[in-house]
Structure 1
C-alpha cells in the first residue's frame, strides 16, 4: 500500500510552494504579465506551470515546516523578492509614462486622458500610445521570458531561506527610480524643446502683431507640431525601448544580488 509520511509531504510542499510564491509575486507586480485585464487564474496558472518546470532544478529547500513561524517568514521573504523584481521592471515602464505625460502636457493634450489598465488610473493620450508601443515591443523582444529567466536566476543570488533580506537591494531600487525623471525627460526632450520654441515664436509674433490674435490658433499649431514630431520619433522608439528593457533586466540581477542576506 502506498503511504506518505508528513515529512515527505512537507518536503514536496515546500519545494513547490516557496518558488511558486516568488514567481506569483513577480507576475502580479511585473508589467504586461501583471496587467489587470489578465485574469487572476491565468496568472496563477502561469506561475504554477513555470514553478513545476523550475522547482526540480533548485535543489533542497530549508528543512522547515510550512506553517511554522520560520515557514511563514520564508513565505513573506519570497513575496518581497518577487515584488521587488517585478517593481524594478515597472520602473522601466514608468519612464515611458513620464515621457508621454511631459509631451502631452506641452502639446496641450494633458486634458485628453484615457483609463490605463496597467497603472489603474487615467493617463494622457500620448502616454497611453507610448505604453501600447512599449508593451508590444516588450513582447516582441521576449522581455517577459527574460524577466522570468532573471527571476529563476535570482534563486542562485537569493536562495530560499529565513534570513533577513539585505538592505542594499532596496537602496538599489530607490536609486534605479531616479532614471524615471532623467530618462523620461531625455526621451521627451526633442518634442518639449520644439514646443517651447514654437510657443516662444507665437509669443513674439503676438507682441509684434497683436491684431492677428495668434493665440486663437496657437493651441492647434502646437498640437500639430507635437503630433508631427511624435510621429517622426516612432521609428526610433522601438530600439530605445529595447535598450531600456535590457537595462531593466540587468537591474533585476543587481537588485537580487543586493537582497542577498548578509553573511
Structure 2
C-alpha cells in the first residue's frame, strides 16, 4: 500500500520537486499507508503471494497505480504549463528560459510563472489532500495484492490529453486574438509609414500587450482550473477501475 502512495509522491507535480528528498518521500509514503491501514483492513483480505515473482509483480502494479493516479489527477497543472509555453512563444519569450527547480530543466519564463501560480492555488484548494484521499479510495477500486500487470488497451490517456489540450486552449485563446490584432495593426503601420522600423517597435509592443493580457487573463485561468481540480481526480479514479 505504501508503494501506491510512493507513486503519487514521485509523479504528481505537487510532490515531484527535486528538492523533496527521496528519504522524505519514502517515510511519508509509509506514514500515509499507516493512516490508510484501518480502511484497508475493512476490505476483503487479498490472497497470499507465495512467490518472489508474484511479489515483484504486485509491487510494480501498486507503484504504477499510484503513478497513474498522480499523473491523471494533476491535469490542471500540466494544462497551465502547456498554456504558459504557448503564451511565452507568442510574447516573443521563447528564448527566455529559466531553470525549473521542480524538474531541473530549462522552461519558459511565462510557463514557470503560470505553473507556480497554479501550484500555489492547487495547495490552497487542498488538491494535494484530494490526491492522497483518492489513493485511499482507490483501494476499493483496485484491490491490493493482485500479482498481475495486465494493463488495458485504452488506459484513458487519449481522454486525458484531449481535456488538457482543451483546457490549455481556453486559457490561450485571448492571447491569440489580441496578439493577432496587434500584428494586423503593425502591418497597417508598416504599409502607411514605411520609414518606421516595425521590427523594433513590434517586439516591446507585443511584450507589453502580453503582460497586460497575462494580468487580465490569469484570474480567469485560475477559475478554470478551480473547477477542474476535483473533476480530474474523480476521472482518475474512474480510469483506475479499468486497471483492476
- Give the distance between the partners of 1:132 and 1:85, measured in 2 at CA: 21
- Give the distance between the partners of 2:74 and 2:100, measured in 1 at CA: 14
Contact 1:154-1:253 at 8 Å conserved across structures: yes
Shift of 1:27: 0.9
Shift of 1:62: 2.5
Contact 2:79-2:168 at 8 Å conserved across structures: yes
User: Which residue, 211, 214, 227 being the options, matches 2:195?
Assistant: 211
* RMSD after superposition: 1.6
| 1:35 counterpart residue number | 17
**1:73-222 to 2 correspondences below 5 Å:** 73-160=57-144, 161-167=146-152, 170-222=154-206
- Give the distance between the partners of 1:200 and 1:178, measured in 2 at CA: 31
TM-score, normalised with respect to structure 1: 0.86
Contact 2:6-2:26 at 8 Å conserved across structures: yes
| 1:49 counterpart residue number | 31
Q: Any runs of at least 4 consecutive aligned residues in structure 1 with deviations exceeding 3 A, and if so which?
A: 163-166
| 1:231 counterpart residue number | 215
- Give the distance between the partners of 1:183 and 1:229, measured in 2 at CA: 18
Contact 2:90-2:179 at 8 Å conserved across structures: yes
- Is it true that 1:58 corresponds to 2:40 in the alignment? yes
Larger Rg, first or second structure (1 or 2): 1
Shift of 1:188: 0.9
Unmatched runs of 5 consecutive residues or more in structure 2? none
Q: Secondary structure, in 3 states, of the residue corresponding to 1:58? A: helix
| 1:71 counterpart residue number | 55
Q: Secondary structure, in 3 states, of the residue corresponding to 2:107? A: strand
Shift of 1:238: 2.6
Q: Structure 1 residues 218, 103: closer, same or farther in 2, change over 3 A?
A: same
- Give the distance between the partners of 1:55 and 1:220, measured in 2 at CA: 58
Unmatched runs of 5 consecutive residues or more in structure 1? 1-18
- Give the distance between the partners of 2:198 and 2:116, measured in 1 at CA: 35
Deviations 1:116-147 (A, max 9, x none): 23343211111111001111011000000000
Contact 1:116-1:123 at 8 Å conserved across structures: yes
- Give the distance between the partners of 2:150 and 2:188, measured in 1 at CA: 58
TM-score, normalised with respect to structure 2: 0.92
Shift of 1:166: 4.4
Q: How many residues are treated as equivalent by the alignment?
A: 240
